Amino acid sequence: MNDGIEEELFSIKSKFLREIPHPKLILKAIDQTKKLISDFNSTRESEHLIQLPDKVFENNLKNSLMQHSDFLLQLKLKISQAQLPGELYIALNELYFIHSSMIKQLSTYLPELESYPDSAIKISDSFDSYALSRFIETAQLNENEIKAYICNSILNKPALNFDMLTIACLRSKKIIEHAGSV
């Protein structure tokens, strides 16, 4: 592999070692990695090696967030150790699938409202799934109480006082609606 490809791989990998970005940025990195794979057969082989489960997370949000956190640690390691474009391509596709699944699950906890107070919420901010699971535990929220808790928060608090769980659910909905890439 030549130095140009190695530098490009390093550049792509470095974007994912601190925080996991917005799904559109993950897709952009997947496209960049795919371009690095020069042989069509190795691209097709890489696509067949991607192992995506039918169901990623449990129905329980706290447990799902812990699983998400574990998956992210494993995928960050895979990304950092990827030495070939095909390996990075596989890891980024898995990352996109896992992260998109978490975003979809978080969005389901929002109540049905005509509009949401989400104008100050940035879709580019990252999620801290471990901190969210700790918040649920500290707030002593049972699974069947989470949606009502978020509804109460949205209806009774000013947007500047939303907690991290409410913000994460609103951000998820906003990503799905505005980014169109989940």
Q: What is the pTM of this model?
A: 0.81
Among 98, 111, 119, smallest CA distance to 171 is for: 119
Please check the confidence at residue 19 and state whether its pLDDT lies above 60.
yes
> What average pLDDT does range 160-182 have in this prediction?
86
pLDDT tens-place string over residues 73-103: 999 999 999 888 888 999 999 999 999 899 9
pLDDT tens-place string over residues 142-161: 999 999 999 999 999 888 88
Please check the confidence at residue 40 and state whether its pLDDT lies above 50.
no
pLDDT tens-place string over residues 3-16: 677 787 778 878 77
Q: Where are the alpha helices (DSSP H) in 108-161?
A: 129-138, 146-156
Q: How far apart are CA 167 and CA 175, in angstroms?
A: 12
Helical axes 146-156 vs 164-174, angle rounded to 10°: 90
Q: How far apart are CA 7 and CA 2, in angstroms?
A: 9
Among 149, 160, 69, 141, smallest CA distance to 110 is for: 149
Token pair listed for 182? 């989940």
pLDDT value of position 53? 57
φ, ψ at 120 (rounded to 5°):
-90, -5
Place of tokens 């609606």: 177
Among 83, 84, 91, 81, smallest CA distance to 49 is for: 91
What string of DSSP letters covers 78-111?
HHHH--SHHHHHHHHHHHHHHHHHHHHHHHTTS-
pLDDT value of position 180? 62
> What average pLDDT does range 31-42 have in this prediction?
67
Confidence of residue 39 (pLDDT cuts 50, 70, 90): very low
Dihedral (Cα; 88, 169, 134, 124), 10-degree rounding:
40
pLDDT value of position 165? 96
Please check the confidence at residue 54 and state whether its pLDDT lies above 70.
no
